Structure 1
């Protein structure tokens, strides 16, 4: 089987060895599996949040169309993408070309449970990004409160001193004051720009100033001595270059000269089944489409691409609201089946407790080094001391420390979650807010593998063994009618909101008492655990925060 390797690291703060280490471990994995590696792709110092910004990644996707390889090997799943949408989209693109994605260090297989485990890993990857962003934001907020430089291009007219504080630039500060004075006096921004170009002025990036350079400068409140970072505002943080009166006068002129803002179209509804819904007749993807009736109302559907573009399929389009509501209802029904939930939890726990390929090797090396240290110490005790004894012992101690650090990093990056923690994560989907598109999307991403739509029925495949459910449209209609008119009253008229999904208290009345009892049970178990261990560090940070969040609601 032919394979390619994809590697990536995120920032310049990481070393080139990060790529080389990924390539080495992926190569060793390929050798163990009997894969033939025909090419490697590597994006250096590029974030994994957006795939479009990674040239080597996009080249790999394009090369897959030639069907010259069968497998993409990555060091960890988050090396492929840290964005959930990109991950699903490009894995589906590779799958169409007969290519699968395999992690060299994470125990994920092609089984439905393995795909569910992959969703959990990707979920933690997204959490890592958000958590890292929050930590960086906290540090930058502290800098702002101390009026310190937070990075990025320095503001024209100021310089940064050795303590990272803003100080007026002896030359450019006078230019800033002059620009404000001239604009406040009635001179046009274009005239000011031309005069600055004639003087040979250069920006901080050593480029000629542009029109936006002038307008951005005129709107910048930093020239009032004001430091802003998100919601943090510190006035008189450093020496102002202009007076408030001149600044306000310039803002009034800018407001008068500003063009009328463009009218943007409202954001369209999100098609949450994109990439997972297929035509039952031809197998092609079904995409979201919309049409406007004579009354001006917009109707949204899923339509087979073969039927829409190639006219190679006669499958009619299906209502977006009907299909999405049905899939979500059947996904939520999974949580009424506790034996199934327990089986999924057991399977995931077994999958993620399989050791990575690197951890056993590191542990074996550490054991060998410790034996050699014991041998050297034994020799010293017996009086066998040579010139190289001290050097050998120091080297072994250094090797031991490095291996212990490497093992600790591996254990931190891949914490083993308990069954209770996995159950917490899965069962929180009971609380899915059906008015929240993001929460509904996450429910679909994690539990639904594929939907195949036929003329009279649809097949929903969930991410667990034997997770197929075939549903007749007649059954769906009967189910929807029972929800709209639960008491079978004559002359009943359904709520207009039913097209977009009923409120959660109408949709799931039978689950609420059980949910309350289940939450109290989890709280009781949690209290017993804390009384026994009294050590919160045993829980990984994501679940620690999750528990506290649930109980605070």
Structure 2
């Protein structure tokens, strides 16, 4: 029966209506929109309403109106008087939040628009209040039931959801995880290199360079992915799952009423739920405990204490690279003689190295020390090197500065011309069509000039040698051999620290004769003063960034 009375001999007033439908991914599917729209069309026909348009938001929660583009467009169109009625299947399609539903009703009522629900009739203040309350209670109760179900899964040793790097779902047992061997090997590499003193940034760079699979289809490995946050116990190095322990409820998701976005908030440790899962262990207990001490220093620990905990196990830990494929190199273990061997990490992970070789680590260390003492104890060559570098850098900086100045002047000129054209139009001066064409042409030129300027390298600064750098550098070099342990493991605590002041990487390759060749790339940060350089340049070797040093056996 129609909601509008009719009189004999008169034409009924046909009101214009629109429909709105929505479904959320956790409760419904895509056909829900079609089903709701079919009900809306039928309701409009029965009640003599002219259905003008259908709005819909697919896969959107009713917890907030933010992010629901169609609903926001509907509210905007209502202000223009585009329609008289909004038809929905039920009021909770508009919102399951009391505040939002009341606000929608208030705004539509002010615009002279009625809300009609197929199963509830015309919405009033009372029905909106009741349905808003019921909808919000349903949503909150449903969230509690979901969390209770997840808690039960954890208590059974099952996953509570989410894919952790290193695991994949069991093909037949829901909630059961299986270790992914290739990813597990990468996790072991991360723990091993971190325990040896490699920083998360360096580990991330090397993993990306070696083409290792990344979590969640990322484009590159990030140090934050590896190190995480202590408060939330996030990051690969803190993931208890790798030690065979499921820890759930470390955080909760809360929707921000201002933005409608879900934000994560940490729960207190007393709310965490833990379950032992030895079948999911990837990292052995000794390595796990050693890394946890490093990422979670004891309360009151000083910066010096943290540095000691991060000290590398071997002097070249994290510095070795494979000359065949460019990947990192790591310890393979000891042979019967008790000597440590190293191999290409890329080969051990994926067998993708074209010419993998195994080398004795002590021989590599001896070769590196020999090269350092032979090639680097030459202050005059170092001074000459920096002088030549400064000269070439100054020439490049001058040319770079001229190009930048020219482009900056062009950008300023075009910007002024555009401003004058706009003033002509606002004052009614000149031919509007001609000015419009000139304006478009100038805007296009300005966009091109700005793009070209953005592609120009930043202005360069010449570097200078520290007054005491050469003397200190030579002392570090000469101090390496005496402090090296008899077993070639860097017995002195200062050995690896001193070595890292001088070396960026050590590349080990095989000559045609089958002999080992070692190429040392030096780190010049200890020698060169560049206070205004970017973090990227000053934080690492300048060889890779500037290209001024050939990859020879000397530095």
Pairwise same-fold verdict (TM > 0.5): no
Which category of TM-score, normalised to the shorter sequence, fits these structures? 0.3 to 0.5
Look at both structures and tell me which one has the larger radius of gyration over its CA atoms. Answer: 2
Which structure carries more relative contact order (alpha carbon 8 Å, separation 6+)?
1
TM-score (norm 1): 0.42
Comparing both structures, which one devotes a greater share of its residues to helix? 1
TM-score (norm 2): 0.42
